[in-house]
């Protein structure tokens, strides 16, 4: 097996690479910044992006792994340009290699649907259709929230908790998530690409449903401030109305503004779950609970700020 990995230095990719090395799996990483090549030790690297895939980047490749994705749009990095056009570009390049590509792995998202009111979820579904219509054998993952060292959700939660005396939650906070540990996601990934089965779409979630309120409590507990931080709810409509104020605050140079947008608020109001035994049924093992494990994922800088008494 020789992989081509797009998204190698992102959260999931950076956690996956060490396991690929341990298994002796070889590959080639697509990097926007050539200076990040040391992060892909043991793998070939090519400099480029999904907008500009270098000629010959997929030569000798039999498995394409597409992990590139964004949760929030910024400038030219839109859901359309990254998820849809980026996927189309990678599929087009894969087709140029002829019949050598045996599997195209695409990391989608739980809830992906062409009918979704979320542009994020809709763009993921559009990318899925591009992969399915390519004629290349494929594997699609639709995971719920993935947690582990360096994950973006934990960084955002830690930033919000450490920078404010209160924890404000838009809406009821009762929408459910099914967080899965990145180590379990890796087990699923390896089972899928090494198992030989193709043209499958897997919905993946952990062993428990946790509301957003539950997750907030887990993070407060992990950071040791569950008795120091007040939690309150405010109407989702007010949160949407405040987006323009947040934008103005960022423009004015105010720091510690949470990176929240319309899509994040929309997704926060929707369940993000699948069958509670999805991993056990599809991959034959029982996944880990995230409870009690979040502390190890929180960057030290946020804990240092808290324990120095910078916030109360």
Query: pLDDT tens-digit profile of 244-280?
Result: 545 544 444 434 445 556 788 888 889 999 999 999 9
Largest CA distance in the chain: 60
Helix intervals (H) in 211-271: 212-222, 236-241, 243-251, 262-268
Question: What is the overall mean pLDDT for the chain?
Answer: 90
165 CA to centre of own chain: 28
Q: What are 32-87's pLDDT values in tens digits?
A: 999 999 999 999 999 999 999 999 999 999 999 999 999 989 899 999 999 999 99
Dihedral sign, Cα of residue 228, residue 233, residue 238, residue 240: positive
257 vs 157 pLDDT, higher one = 157
């Amino acid at each position: 097996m020789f992989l081509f990995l797009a998204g190698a230095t992102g959260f999931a990719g950076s956690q996956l690479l060490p396991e690929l090395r341990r298994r002796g799996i070889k590959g080639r990483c697509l990097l926007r910044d050539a200076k990040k090549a040391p992060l892909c030790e043991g793998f070939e690297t090519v400099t480029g992006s999904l907008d500009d895939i270098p000629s010959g980047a997929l030569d000798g490749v039999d498995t394409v792994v597409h992990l590139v994705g964004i949760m929030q749009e910024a400038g030219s990095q839109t859901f359309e340009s990254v998820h849809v056009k980026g996927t189309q570009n990678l599929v087009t390049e894969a087709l140029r290699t002829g019949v050598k590509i045996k599997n195209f792995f695409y990391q989608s998202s739980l809830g992906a649907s062409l009918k979704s009111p979320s542009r994020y979820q809709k763009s993921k579904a559009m990318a899925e259709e591009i992969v399915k219509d390519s004629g290349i054998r494929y594997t699609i993952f639709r995971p719920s929230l993935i947690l582990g060292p360096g994950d973006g959700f934990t960084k955002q939660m830690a930033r919000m908790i450490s920078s404010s005396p209160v924890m404000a939650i838009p809406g009821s906070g009762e929408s459910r998530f099914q967080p899965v540990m990145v180590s379990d996601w890796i087990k699923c990934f390896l089972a899928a690409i090494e198992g030989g089965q193709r043209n499958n779409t897997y919905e993946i979630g952990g062993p428990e449903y946790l509301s957003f309120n539950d997750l907030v409590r887990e993070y407060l507990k992990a950071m040791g401030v569950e008795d120091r931080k007040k939690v309150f709810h405010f109407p989702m409509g007010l949160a949407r109305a405040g987006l323009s104020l947040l934008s103005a605050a960022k423009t004015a140079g105010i720091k510690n503004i949470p990176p929240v947008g319309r899509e994040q608020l929309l997704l926060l109001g929707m369940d993000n779950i699948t069958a509670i035994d999805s991993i056990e049924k599809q991959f034959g093992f029982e996944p880990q609970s995230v409870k009690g494990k979040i502390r190890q994922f929180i960057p030290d800088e946020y804990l240092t700020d808290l324990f120095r008494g910078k916030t109360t």
